[in-house]
A and B are shown apart, each in its own frame.
Chain A
């Protein structure tokens, strides 16, 4: 089992460019999440998907969109990147409340 995989691992964007972060899990979990982690801030929830076909906003959804493509895959899209979106992005999946399995993260820099 690969667990939770994320691509790409690193990305540099110019302001205004768009990109999609990919996430996939092979653990058959219903719930999936996208977080961003900034120094001194802790992980902040961007969007989550409680099950295939549903998505909901988290704490910091502005500037992002998501797609739950199927049970395995949950992607995060930045339509017009801004320097404030420079961060480390983690995808996670969960079999039950509180128990989350994270991917290795994507380090994004927006210049």
Chain B
């Protein structure tokens, strides 16, 4: 079983819509979580860390549910430039486990 699992999507949403998706993790010892963004045929880039109490960064909100072992990402007021694959990442010590990604396509 993969340590981090994501719905691959794609999530196709109109501009201005809200889109949300989750990822689940199997290692209850995982301490830290992150969302990375990867554009087509480009390198991943850190989008935001995920804190236990939940956190926002502009139009992006991340939540962590340790009891059910999932994290979520919500994007409000979607822009065309939000079209990308979002990678869920969790881990501890020096080991980060990357999910395979959820693809979001925002259409005009």
Closest A residue to B8 by beta carbon equals A40
User: Among residues 75 to 111 in chain A, which have CB atoms less than 8 Å away from a CB atom of chain B?
Assistant: 90, 97-105
Query: Is A60 in the interface zone, CB < 8 Å from B?
Result: no
A58 to B95, CA, bound (A): 8
Main secondary structure of the interface of A (DSSP, over half): strand
B2 adjacent to A42 (CB under 8 Å): yes
A39 to B96, CA, bound (A): 18
Q: How far is the CB of B79 from chain A (nearest CB, A)?
A: 23
A101 to B94, CA, bound (A): 15
B contact residues, range: 20 to 34
A40 to B2, CA, bound (A): 11
Q: How many A-B residue pairs have CB under 8 A?
A: 49
A64 to B2, CA, bound (A): 22
Query: Is B59 in the interface zone, CB < 8 Å from A?
Result: no
Query: Is B84 in the interface zone, CB < 8 Å from A?
Result: no
Query: Is A31 in the interface zone, CB < 8 Å from B?
Result: yes
**A43/B44 contact (C-beta < 8 A), A31-B94, A98-B49, A98-B96 known:** yes
A98 to B98, CA, bound (A): 11
> Which residues from A are CB-within-8-Å of B2?
42
Q: A42-B100, A100-B46 are in contact. List 17 more A-B contacts (CB 8 A).
A: A35-B98, A40-B8, A41-B100, A42-B101, A44-B98, A45-B96, A58-B95, A59-B95, A90-B43, A97-B32, A98-B32, A98-B96, A101-B46, A102-B44, A104-B42, A104-B43, A105-B42
Could you list 24 A-B pairs, sorted by A, with CB under 8 Å? Answer: A42-B97, A42-B98, A42-B99, A42-B101, A43-B98, A44-B98, A45-B96, A48-B94, A50-B94, A59-B95, A90-B43, A90-B44, A98-B32, A98-B46, A98-B49, A98-B89, A98-B91, A100-B96, A101-B46, A102-B43, A102-B44, A103-B43, A104-B42, A104-B43
